[in-house]
Structure 1
């Protein structure tokens, strides 16, 4: 019933049914464009790039530009919510709340398409946040050059906060991330003759054990960092020594300097495994645009002050999280801030049953209309 009362909850449900993996968001792009082009166009200008959409709401003066970014991609997760509007795409789900992000952005764009401010307002509907650092792709391709914001803002849903709660902090809100891919190549053989083979399960297992010591012996315990290996694949049957093994994982750090240190130590461990086990290790470390999300002081302080004063917001001072977000790349280039939006779900981000409370959508639109109006006037 609520979706009938609020069109942006209806939009969220529509988008929730068509999640798509990064850079393949073709249905999502078409849905967004259909909606955006149906708005009053007097103040609007539109650029499309791959599956991205950038909309500028021209200001009366245009002395500066304020940016609002939303991500549009889904995750390779098989949805188990049982919702009547659950994903129609097998093994794809909006398990990170990007459907909520988009519906809020469309609500804001709808308002500002009819309420022109003094300064420009740019809406970035960004693909590939989850898998290919779409923010970096857009920035590096020069797509934003003509309308580069002077300040950039974004939100992310937070299942652990109640509806009405908004949280952030000055400085590092989210960690930077770096993916690990490692392939170990040796020599397969019969289980009864290990001396004639070169066992990559043993070699890869030693790699797994040794890189755990990077956290305990190379990282300042006050700063903190994380290495997690999420996959390990090797072998075909119990009586054959595996000549190959592969694994994937992630590094999470709070500063670029710590990320560089961690990556160098992982490379050194891999080189040591090659020498110790007389094998080859193909190691790929890819950070892309997943820099730490560092909220700049001036812009974030102003955002916090606004949220504390708003009657419908319960502001929460948030701790730094090891969550990764490619908005960090844009904040490395442009001042601004990201914040958490409470959606009160018992299941966390990326969970197959994550289901945000939809009343957060109209609340966020109302609060952010006021915030962005203040920023552009």
Structure 2
């Protein structure tokens, strides 16, 4: 069966009620498998990997495989929308719109299960996008190898765009990210005897100040980078010198080269502070699979040209965003494109009030389906 708009909206609402954190998406996986197994199975092969699902669609020609990826996890956010189909899982919510992503993917898969594609397709229902680099884990596991795409596509919903609008850009769509975890270890003591202690509040403060120069003095002004320190914890009370200081933050950069350059400077500054204050330092810079989402130039040009000229598509060329997405890891291995689907909401991604407009689902399915068929025809003509 090909899913109707009414069915897609109901699926989205069902999924919205059962958000689960990365690598814990057991109920989500069960629900998705139930939907997929009700499709026509003539062209489909299905297998699971941890809490994810891979579905291979056997096309008319097996020399080329197009991949389509959706993420399936939720966030540790307490929903406040008041919707009748709000999350039933305390402290968890599809606050990033992955319920929209999954619904669109199921709509596409249902169509190609009934209409044999010109080339092979691999649908990837990927866990743990938000917290555990699920894309990198899946790719490195080898589970994709037999159905490895030659090119890959994926969307992210965008509350700032009108429902159904497609947005994309050449180059980087999302930044690469890296977590910063720094711990300075000195010596605590009485506030009246600072010479007998080694104050880590002062050391941490110097680190915070010096970090501010990385983007302004080490990053090309034409390029972009962000270093944000969002957590600083030291000491227990006002008259005790702190012997330890914990600082946590994030790096954002539009190229992997810049991300690594910023990581290097963060590490050098932390080591320099430790040396100058005669203290120890523990440095944990964790990027995982959150590489920049760098769209392939050739494939993205085909995608953007099609969307700009398609009669019923509202397309906008967007600017890069400093948000992160582990689809960047897959794009570092497989040429492809990530794009926006507008869902029009006054609230941002990750907000406890996010309520996407559901009419975007069917519009997205139609627009992406038509593009994929167009793309397959181009490939098929070359193969023939």
Is the pair's TM-score, using the shorter chain for normalization, greater than 0.5? yes
Tell me how far apart the structure 2 counterparts of residues 248 and 94 of structure 1 sit (CA, whole Å). Answer: 25
Deviations 1:19-56 (A, max 9, x none): 11111111111111111112221111012111110001
Match of 2:170 in 1: 170
Range 269-278 or range 232-241, more displaced: 232-241
Correspondence list, 1:290-305, <5 A: 290-305=290-305
Match of 2:210 in 1: 210
Query: Does the alignment pair 1:159 with 2:153?
Result: no
Question: Does the Cα contact within 8 Å between 1:176 and 1:324 map onto a contact in 2?
Answer: yes
Match of 1:196 in 2: 196
Question: Does the Cα contact within 8 Å between 2:168 and 2:340 map onto a contact in 1?
Answer: yes
Match of 1:133 in 2: 133
Match of 1:344 in 2: 344
Question: Does the Cα contact within 8 Å between 1:77 and 1:92 map onto a contact in 2?
Answer: yes
Match of 1:354 in 2: 354
Gaps of 5+ in 1: none
Aligned to 1:233, the other structure's residue is in SS state strand
Correspondence list, 1:1-377, <5 A: 6-377=6-377
Question: Does the Cα contact within 8 Å between 1:20 and 1:92 map onto a contact in 2?
Answer: yes
Aligned to 1:62, the other structure's residue is in SS state strand
Question: Does the Cα contact within 8 Å between 1:225 and 1:254 map onto a contact in 2?
Answer: yes
Question: Does the Cα contact within 8 Å between 1:120 and 1:376 map onto a contact in 2?
Answer: no
Question: Does the Cα contact within 8 Å between 1:21 and 1:74 map onto a contact in 2?
Answer: yes
Check 1:341–1:352 CA distance in 2 against 1; reply closer, same or farther (3 A cut): same
Cα deviation for residue 6 of structure 1 reads 1.0
Aligned to 2:322, the other structure's residue is in SS state strand
Aligned to 1:113, the other structure's residue is in SS state helix
Deviations 1:242-270 (A, max 9, x none): 21221211111111211121111111100
Aligned to 1:237, the other structure's residue is in SS state coil
Aligned to 2:124, the other structure's residue is in SS state strand
Tell me how far apart the structure 2 counterparts of residues 232 and 340 of structure 1 sit (CA, whole Å). Answer: 34
Aligned to 1:324, the other structure's residue is in SS state coil
Deviations 1:301-334 (A, max 9, x none): 1111221222332110111111111111111111
Question: Does the Cα contact within 8 Å between 2:164 and 2:361 map onto a contact in 1?
Answer: no
Question: Does the Cα contact within 8 Å between 2:17 and 2:88 map onto a contact in 1?
Answer: yes
Deviations 1:166-195 (A, max 9, x none): 111111111111111111211222223222
Tell me how far apart the structure 1 counterparts of residues 357 and 312 of structure 2 sit (CA, whole Å). Answer: 16
Deviations 1:72-96 (A, max 9, x none): 1111112111111111222211111
How many residues align? The count is 375
Range 147-156 or range 290-299, more displaced: 290-299
Question: Does the Cα contact within 8 Å between 1:66 and 1:375 map onto a contact in 2?
Answer: no
Cα deviation for residue 350 of structure 1 reads 1.1
Question: Does the Cα contact within 8 Å between 2:5 and 2:362 map onto a contact in 1?
Answer: no
Aligned to 1:321, the other structure's residue is in SS state coil
Tell me how far apart the structure 1 counterparts of residues 83 and 352 of structure 2 sit (CA, whole Å). Answer: 12
| Aligned-residue RMSD, C-alpha | 1.5
Tell me how far apart the structure 2 counterparts of residues 33 and 238 of structure 1 sit (CA, whole Å). Answer: 56
Tell me how far apart the structure 2 counterparts of residues 180 and 328 of structure 1 sit (CA, whole Å). Answer: 19
Range 122-131 or range 312-321, more displaced: 312-321
Deviations 1:72-126 (A, max 9, x none): 1111112111111111222211111111000110111111111111211110000
Aligned to 1:348, the other structure's residue is in SS state coil
Cα deviation for residue 347 of structure 1 reads 0.8
